[in-house]
């Protein structure tokens, strides 16, 4: 490790690499090769091995169901009251798969290519190739489970196209694809519960990880209904706890989404990959005011038929949009990016919407003096296809929009604005989805692996299910096969006791502050700092300022927060939030440090100092072609940056252009 403190904030450690992906075979054979080389566990021995899974979204639910089905002893933990509530359920648009059912030249290679490119060349080639490769199996699996995908009259599956691609490879179930896929995984999971291979722990949050002899060996959970801390020991731990977008307070994430599980693991040694990579989604319902608790996304499939525009003249912005004639409308995406038009990738659509509003051409209510909204107009689609056809395609989204805003989108154009949606950073994992802590696996949005700087639409659902149904069941064996000789841990083992005590100390410390501010007030303040300085557009100066502000806020938190109620004996939602916000404060600082060190614009993160003459994002492959994997160096210690070089053997690096 270098002794020099870089920018006064971090140190640089040794380089790291993924050692599990076979690189001596063509990429199309890497996964087969890895599966063949991975050690196996005899079916009779599997029931002797215990795996803990945290989270029951697409990745966790699918992994728990699959590992249970294989015969492992699975314990699954989730903070909601039922496994079916995980936030994957809210994904609307669809799931990609290289089926080429449309005969439009789709292929595994093309899906791979599009995803790496859409990720602005900051994802690992081998992982993304595998994702594309198993995508077709995912659809087969889900159909067999009874997922009611959209079909055509002939009985075959329907497809649609999604932002950033030119083929129709997205499978969907109206605007509720995530719900239907999650219900499929949930049902498979409940089947295993009935079979006795999986035990569920609802209303339990993971508050600490147990590491013994350098290996992940269990977790400390908190029963949210009773406040009781419990220790659970296992042979391996899988974290599938989703993203950390709630660090921004306002995001499209569910209220309970949090970073505690991955942050606790990070503090116990797991590297955090690319923390500043946040996906901003272009089609969310704009903020209504300061009582708002969250933002709602509208499926980006709407961009297939909706046309995005703002008035050409700022003085028209407060007019009824129906009274603004065609020649006074600026269909800015169609104008700037004629070949992709309204279907440009998410980062571009988001940034241009922000530019229009910053120019003073935004529409809708003003928040802090600026109208932050652009029109998504279906008038042309209704004219072309008829209202019924539009309703058949997007009806539930239109209803949802009307419910939230009180406006009827069949009559008046929708208003949309970008919002924080998905986090592409997460715990660093290798090709096996294993973190640098042996026995700690991370799946779905909680890991960083298959994402680049900005994912394309319909690939998050694909990754969750790919990790859960197909990757983990084939890679975790390799670790478990070597677990028989590990020493047995029990409740009284020092590492277990230490983890329990540290979890208890954290609860006690939070309860003891007894200051005067509520947890939510801190969370909102943190969110403002993050959105302002570490959101869609970042500058060196802003990020430095944000780091100072977060440090101050964190200091105040531990002196002035108050958690009402009891820590034991009853449900205490303030205490749940308090623990999570404490972790968000530390994570927020790391996100800013990561953003500060990455002096390039890349997909969704626009570094103002790095842009092309046309104002587009300018990547610096010569300097930043790596994954930034951060090591926790201790309380109030500067974190250590480990770089994993990204190797592109199959795809040529190009500056992205959608013009």
80 scored as a contact of other proteins (CB under 8 A): yes
Q: Based on CB atoms, which residue is closest to other proteins, 302 or 543? A: 302
Q: Is there a contact between 292 and 286 (Cβ–Cβ < 8 Å)?
A: no
Q: Based on CB atoms, which residue is closest to other proteins, 48 or 288? A: 288
**CB count in 10 Å sphere of residue 469:** 24
391 scored as a contact of other proteins (CB under 8 A): no
536 scored as a contact of other proteins (CB under 8 A): no
Q: Based on CB atoms, which residue is closest to other proteins, 168 or 435? A: 168
260 scored as a contact of other proteins (CB under 8 A): no
- 562 CB burial (10 A radius; 0-12, 13-18, 19+): middle
Rounded distance between C-alpha atoms, residue 60 and residue 65, angstroms: 8
Contacts of 482 (CB under 8 A, 6+ apart): 39
Among 35, 294, 544, 545, binds other proteins (CB under 8 A): 294
585 scored as a contact of other proteins (CB under 8 A): no
**Which residue is catalytic, options 84, 174, 215, 346?**
346
Stretch of 119-127, 316-324, 375-383, 397-405 contacting other proteins, by CB under 8 A: 397-405
Token pair in block for residue 489: 């841990």
Stretch of 300-308, 367-375, 396-404, 477-485 contacting other proteins, by CB under 8 A: 396-404
CA distances from 528 to 232, 517, 534, 549, 598 (A): 37, 17, 10, 11, 21
Q: CB 89 → other proteins: shortest distance, Å?
A: 5
Rounded distance between C-alpha atoms, residue 56 and residue 62, angstroms: 8
3-state secondary structure of 643: strand
Rounded distance between C-alpha atoms, residue 652 and residue 659, angstroms: 19
CA distances from 333 to 91, 216, 310, 322, 340 (A): 24, 48, 10, 20, 8
Rounded distance between C-alpha atoms, residue 526 and residue 578, angstroms: 13
Q: CB 196 → other proteins: shortest distance, Å?
A: 11
Among 42, 43, 144, 325, binds other proteins (CB under 8 A): 144
Reference 10, options 598, 539, 518, 657; nearest CA is: 598
Among 15, 37, 151, 659, binds other proteins (CB under 8 A): 151
155 scored as a contact of other proteins (CB under 8 A): yes
Q: Based on CB atoms, which residue is closest to other proteins, 45 or 296? A: 296
Provide φ and ψ at 552, rounded to 5°: -65, -45
475 scored as a contact of other proteins (CB under 8 A): no
Q: Based on CB atoms, which residue is closest to other proteins, 91 or 270? A: 91
Contacts of 348 (CB under 8 A, 6+ apart): 333, 337, 616, 658
Q: Based on CB atoms, which residue is closest to other proteins, 48 or 524? A: 524
296 scored as a contact of other proteins (CB under 8 A): yes
Token pair in block for residue 53: 């899974």
163 scored as a contact of other proteins (CB under 8 A): no
| Residue list 227-256, contact with other proteins (CB under 8 A) | 252, 254-256
Q: Is there a contact between 303 and 342 (Cβ–Cβ < 8 Å)?
A: yes
Rounded distance between C-alpha atoms, residue 217 and residue 228, angstroms: 20
Q: CB 390 → other proteins: shortest distance, Å?
A: 17
Stretch of 142-150, 274-282, 410-418, 592-600 contacting other proteins, by CB under 8 A: 142-150
Q: CB 516 → other proteins: shortest distance, Å?
A: 9
**What distance lies between CA 518 and its chain's CA centroid?**
27
Stretch of 62-70, 314-322, 336-344, 349-357 contacting other proteins, by CB under 8 A: 62-70
36 scored as a contact of other proteins (CB under 8 A): no
Q: Where are the beta strands (DSSP E) in 352-468?
A: 366-367, 370-371, 374-377, 414-423, 426-427, 440-442
Relative to beta strand 204-212, strand 215-223 is: antiparallel
518 scored as a contact of other proteins (CB under 8 A): yes
Q: Based on CB atoms, which residue is closest to other proteins, 415 or 597? A: 415
174 is catalytic: no
Among 32, 81, 104, 358, binds other proteins (CB under 8 A): 81
Among 214, 360, 383, 569, binds other proteins (CB under 8 A): 569
| Residue list 176-205, contact with other proteins (CB under 8 A) | 176, 178-180, 183, 186-188, 190-191, 193-194, 200, 202
Among 98, 173, 483, 646, binds other proteins (CB under 8 A): 173
Q: Is there a contact between 377 and 398 (Cβ–Cβ < 8 Å)?
A: no
Among 69, 330, 334, 495, binds other proteins (CB under 8 A): 69
Q: CB 605 → other proteins: shortest distance, Å?
A: 25
528 scored as a contact of other proteins (CB under 8 A): no
Compute the Cα dihedral for 245, 88, 80, 424 and give only its sign.
negative
Q: CB 105 → other proteins: shortest distance, Å?
A: 18
Among 383, 515, 565, 615, binds other proteins (CB under 8 A): 565
H or E stretch covering 311: strand 307-311
Q: Where are the beta strands (DSSP E) in 432-510?
A: 440-442
Among 9, 23, 38, 150, binds other proteins (CB under 8 A): 150
126 scored as a contact of other proteins (CB under 8 A): no
548 scored as a contact of other proteins (CB under 8 A): no
H or E stretch covering 282: strand 278-284
Q: Based on CB atoms, which residue is closest to other proteins, 188 or 499? A: 188
Q: CB 356 → other proteins: shortest distance, Å?
A: 23
Q: CB 41 → other proteins: shortest distance, Å?
A: 16
Q: CB 145 → other proteins: shortest distance, Å?
A: 5
3-state secondary structure of 63: helix
Per-residue DSSP letters for 194-227?
HHTSEEEETTEEEEEEEEETTEEEEEEEEETTT-
85 scored as a contact of other proteins (CB under 8 A): yes
Stretch of 134-142, 210-218, 420-428, 430-438 contacting other proteins, by CB under 8 A: 134-142
Q: CB 102 → other proteins: shortest distance, Å?
A: 12
Q: Based on CB atoms, which residue is closest to other proteins, 115 or 176? A: 176
Rounded distance between C-alpha atoms, residue 403 and residue 620, angstroms: 44
Rounded distance between C-alpha atoms, residue 219 and residue 162, angstroms: 39
Stretch of 29-37, 287-295, 428-436, 618-626 contacting other proteins, by CB under 8 A: 287-295
Question: Any idea what DSSP says for residue 50?
Answer: E
| Residue list 399-458, contact with other proteins (CB under 8 A) | 400, 403-404, 406
Q: Which sequence positions are flagged as catalytic?
A: 346
């Amino acid at each position: 490790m270098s002794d020099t403190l870089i920018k006064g904030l971090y140190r640089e450690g040794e380089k790291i690499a993924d050692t599990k992906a076979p690189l001596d075979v063509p990429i199309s054979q890497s996964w087969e090769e890895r599966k063949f080389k991975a050690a196996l566990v005899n079916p009779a021995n599997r029931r002797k091995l215990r795996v803990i899974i945290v989270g029951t979204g697409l990745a966790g639910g699918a992994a728990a169901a699959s590992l249970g089905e294989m015969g492992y002893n699975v314990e699954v933990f989730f903070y909601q009251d039922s496994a079916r509530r995980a936030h994957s359920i809210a994904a609307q648009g669809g799931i990609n798969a290289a089926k080429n059912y449309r005969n439009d030249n789709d292929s595994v290679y093309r899906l791979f290519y599009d995803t790496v490119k859409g990720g602005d060349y900051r994802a690992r080639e081998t992982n993304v190739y595998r994702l594309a490769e198993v995508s077709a199996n995912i659809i087969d699996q889900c159909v067999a489970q009874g997922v009611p995908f959209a079909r055509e009259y002939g009985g075959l599956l329907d497809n649609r196209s999604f932002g950033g691609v030119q083929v129709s490879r997205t499978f969907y179930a109206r605007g509720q694809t995530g719900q239907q896929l999650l219900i499929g995984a949930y049902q498979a999971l409940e089947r295993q519960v009935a079979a006795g291979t999986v035990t569920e722990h609802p209303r339990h949050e993971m508050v600490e990880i147990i590491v013994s002899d350098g290996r992940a060996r269990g977790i400390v959970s908190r029963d949210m209904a009773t406040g009781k801390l419990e220790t659970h020991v296992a042979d391996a731990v899988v974290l599938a706890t989703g993203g950390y977008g709630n660090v921004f307070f306002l995001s499209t994430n569910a209220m309970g989404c949090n970073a505690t599980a991955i942050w606790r693991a990070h503090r116990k040694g797991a590297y955090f990959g690319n923390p500043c990579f946040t996906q901003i989604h272009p089609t969310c319902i704009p903020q209504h005011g300061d009582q708002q608790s969250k933002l709602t996304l509208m499926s980006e499939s709407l961009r297939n038929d909706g046309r995005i525009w703002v008035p050409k003249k700022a003085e028209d912005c407060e007019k009824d949009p129906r009274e603004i004639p065609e020649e006074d409308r600026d269909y800015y995406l169609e104008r700037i990016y004629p070949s992709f038009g309204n279907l440009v990738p998410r980062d571009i659509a988001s940034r241009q919407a922000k530019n229009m509003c910053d120019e003073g051409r935004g529409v809708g209510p003003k928040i802090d003096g600026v109208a932050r909204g652009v029109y998504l107009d279906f008038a042309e689609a209704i004219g072309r296809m008829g209202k019924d056809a539009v309703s058949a395609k997007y009806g539930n989204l239109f209803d949802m929009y009307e419910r939230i805003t009180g406006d009827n989108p069949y009559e008046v154009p929708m208003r949309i604005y970008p919002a924080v949606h998905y986090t592409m950073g997460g715990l660093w994992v290798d090709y096996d989805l294993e973190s640098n802590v042996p026995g700690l696996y991370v799946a779905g949005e909680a890991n960083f692996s298959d994402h680049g700087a900005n994912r394309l639409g319909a690939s998050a659902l694909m990754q969750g299910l790919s990790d859960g149904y197909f990757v983990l069941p084939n890679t975790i064996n390799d670790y478990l096969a070597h677990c028989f000789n590990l020493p047995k841990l029990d409740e009284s083992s020092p590492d277990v006791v230490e983890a329990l005590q540290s979890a208890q100390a954290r609860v006690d410390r939070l309860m003891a502050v007894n200051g005067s501010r509520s947890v939510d007030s801190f969370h909102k303040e943190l969110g403002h700092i993050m959105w302002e300085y570490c959101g869609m557009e970042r500058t060196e100066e802003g990020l430095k300022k944000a780091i100072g502000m977060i440090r101050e806020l964190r200091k105040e938190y531990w002196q002035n927060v108050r958690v009402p109620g009891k820590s034991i004996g009853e449900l205490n939602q303030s205490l749940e939030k308090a623990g999570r916000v404490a972790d968000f404060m530390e994570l927020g600082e790391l996100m800013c440090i990561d953003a500060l060190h990455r002096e390039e614009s890349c997909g969704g993160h626009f570094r103002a100092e790095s842009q092309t003459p046309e104002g587009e994002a300018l990547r610096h492959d010569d300097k930043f072609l790596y994954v930034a994997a951060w090591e926790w160096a201790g309380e109030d210690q500067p974190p250590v940056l480990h770089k994993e070089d990204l190797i592109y053997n199959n795809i040529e690096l190009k500056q992205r252009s959608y013009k």
